[in-house]
Amino acid sequence: MSVRVLVVDDHDLVRAGLAAILNAHEATDVVGEESDGPGAIRAVRELHPDVVLMDIEMPGGDGLSATREIVRHSPSTRVLVLTMFDLDEYVFHAPRAGASGFLLKTTPPADLVSAVLACAAGETQLGPTVIRRLVESYVARLQQV
């Protein structure tokens, strides 16, 4: 049985590329594509994907707000944030919104597929730069104590 994935990104070319990567793998099946947060929320209610691959910055509705809503109303759906913005604000707010992972769009295709599969299996997926930032933040807080 393949992992059902909803791809959410405001750029048509990026969505198509992500869908092609995921559909090329036998263990993943893209069941829908959306261009903004509100569309993602509606699609999750209709399509019941296992994983939502979610961009953060999108006109018409951001990915963090959509993630909160999706996790609240569909707790079995996992959200994996995929963004080009390596900002502390996003790194720290995505898990608080309920995201099961955070990757940058520089992630190699094979690693992206692996992360989607791992998220579907209940694991948390964080890219290497994200882990480094979280550890640095934790160590800095410990030094303040």
pLDDT in tens, 73-119: 999 999 999 987 665 565 667 788 889 988 889 999 999 999 999 99
| Placement of tokens 């707790």 in the chain | 75
What is the identity of the amino acid at 93? Answer: H
Give the global pTM. 0.87
Q: How far apart are alpha carbons 89 and 123 in whole angstroms?
A: 22
Whole-angstrom CA distances from 6 to 24, 33, 88, 127 are 15, 6, 25, 20
What type of residue is 108? P
pLDDT of residue 38: 96
Mean pLDDT of the chain: 88
Query: Which class is 3-144 in CATH?
Result: alpha beta
Residue-range domain boundaries for the chain? 3-144
Closest by CA to 67, choosing from 105, 99, 27, 24, is: 99
Beta-strand runs (E) in the chain: 3-8, 28-34, 51-54, 78-83, 101-104, 125-126
Secondary structure class of 78 (helix, strand, coil): strand
Which residues are CB-contacts of 1 (< 8 A; sequence separation ≥ 6)?
Answer: none
What is the rounded average pLDDT of the residues 10-39? 97
